[in-house]
Amino acid sequence: MQNTILITGGSGFIGSNFILQWIASERTPVVNLDKLTYAGNPRNLQRVSSDTRYCFMQGDICDRDLVHSILERHKPRAVVHFAAESHVDRSIRGPDDFIRTNVNGTFCLLEEARAYWMALARQDRELFRFLHVSTDEVYGSLDPHDPPFCETTRYAPNSPYSASKAAADHLVRAYFHTYDVPTLTTNCSNNYGPYQFPEKLIPLIILNARKGKSLPLYGDGQNVRDWLYVEDHCEAVRMVLARGRIGETYNIGGWNEKRNVEVVDTICSILDDLCGNDPVLPHRTLISFVKDRPGHDRRYAMDACKIEHELSWKPRETFESGIRKTINWYLQNEAWVNEVTAGNYRQWIATHYS
């Protein structure tokens, strides 16, 4: 077994940030297996594309022959599983891809990882890890005064997306308890930061505000989310991979509960200061309340005490510092923005918010 790790979905938002951080911090080889669906972008990893420690493989995690060949060829010491269909709105319009990738894909990975792990020498088997990256949405919705989600909160997914991730979580748990596969699971709160595909709230608001377009907010805008800067999330995943207890789940949260309308208002205020020549000022006059999403969860909040106590991890960024970094990144990377917002993205936004 080599000192390589296999990342699935490494060309997406969180996966690409993780690879960039891994190569900068850990300095060991990474194999990135990514299907390159609409949200997977090779340009996210342009900085490391010529690095000898980085290897890209285009393919589907449901292709067991391909997964088998990658494991046999590269002999990774860990699989870090980011690959997923992840947008709730898309799961409502078309759940098929979510079941295929998030449920069947996770099953295929687990089966191939189990076979690979069982064939390793004893000392290598003890070192191997399968880390599954999941979401707080598997826990359902909180009332305003409920305590935050903890690792023992009952699962209550409310969308096709969250149901598919809950199923994947249960499969990972089952492979640990049934087959002793050394698994780890992380459930994170809402991520934001560089390279996020602009169908999600924060980049959508930044880009629409700059162009003087409507800033759509579901319902009354009072839905609450816990916000986690993506680099903090990646650091937490690295710590869980290095020191997490086998078979355990770790919640990763930012301790930053914000109402959606607060998030949008904060972005607008910062853009007012930074972009005084935009077509519509102040930017908050562009806010438009649209029909609520079906089954829209009211509040998410994460109790991250377990990872803080066991692994000494805490987020470095407050929401205020992280959102400024994020806005500045989008302002400074217009070529990336223009590329990802062409074609199919525009059609999706026009259809969905009509």
What amino acid positions are annotated as catalytic residues?
136-137, 161
List phi, psi (to 5°) of 144: -55, -35
Backbone region of residue 343 per phi and psi (left: phi > 0; alpha: psi in -120 to 50; beta: other values): left
Max Cα–Cα distance, the chain, nearest Å: 64
Count CB-CB contacts under 10 A for residue 289: 13
In which residue are the tokens 């997923």 written? 84
Cα–Cα distance measured from residue 227 to residue 232, given in angstroms and rounded to the nearest whole number:
11
Alpha carbon distance, N-terminus to C-terminus of the chain: 52
E strands, 144-261, in order: 183-188, 190-192, 215-218, 224-229, 249-252, 257-259
Cα–Cα distance measured from residue 281 to residue 343, given in angstroms and rounded to the nearest whole number:
28
Cα–Cα distance measured from residue 211 to residue 33, given in angstroms and rounded to the nearest whole number:
35
